[in-house]
């Protein structure tokens, strides 16, 4: 009589595990999916807002870049940086050489952008 009582709880545990296992797997899959979807949306929003910021800043910087007035360029970049959530702003010419660069005080840039080519 003791042996059916011993197998009964193990059978119940196996059935419980068998019933809960698909729910656990589905939970993990859904958490992974929604996390990756949210991260993708955040990356896309950051890309869109950064591109819009660059598109709006370009006409303002045109005079300072064309005239070579680095003081006006740094001033406009500093004001733009204060109004944005960006950590740094860099302006490059057509060949990719940096023309202007500003960063927040709390930003730690590991490489000086003006020495990037060396």
Give the pLDDT of residue 118: 41
Spans of all domains in the chain: 2-105
What are 7-27's pLDDT values in tens digits?
567 878 888 888 889 999 999
Whole-number Cα distances in Å, 36 to 26, 33, 97: 15, 5, 35
What are 86-100's pLDDT values in tens digits?
888 888 888 888 888
The radius of gyration of the chain from alpha carbons, rounded to an integer in Å, stands at: 29
Give the pLDDT of residue 42: 94
Please identify which residue in the block is written with the tokens 């006006």: 72
């Amino acid at each position: 009589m003791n042996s059916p009582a011993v197998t009964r709880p193990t059978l119940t545990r196996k059935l419980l595990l068998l019933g809960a296992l698909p729910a656990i797997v589905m939970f993990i899959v859904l958490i992974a999916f929604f996390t990756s979807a949210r991260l993708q949306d955040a990356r896309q929003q950051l890309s869109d807002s950064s591109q819009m910021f660059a598109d709006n800043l370009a006409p303002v910087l045109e005079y300072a870049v064309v005239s070579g007035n680095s003081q006006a360029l740094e001033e406009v970049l500093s004001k733009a940086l204060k109004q944005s959530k960006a950590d740094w702003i860099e302006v490059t010419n057509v060949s990719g050489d940096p023309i202007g660069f500003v960063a927040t005080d709390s930003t730690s840039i590991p490489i000086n952008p003006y020495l990037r080519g060396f």
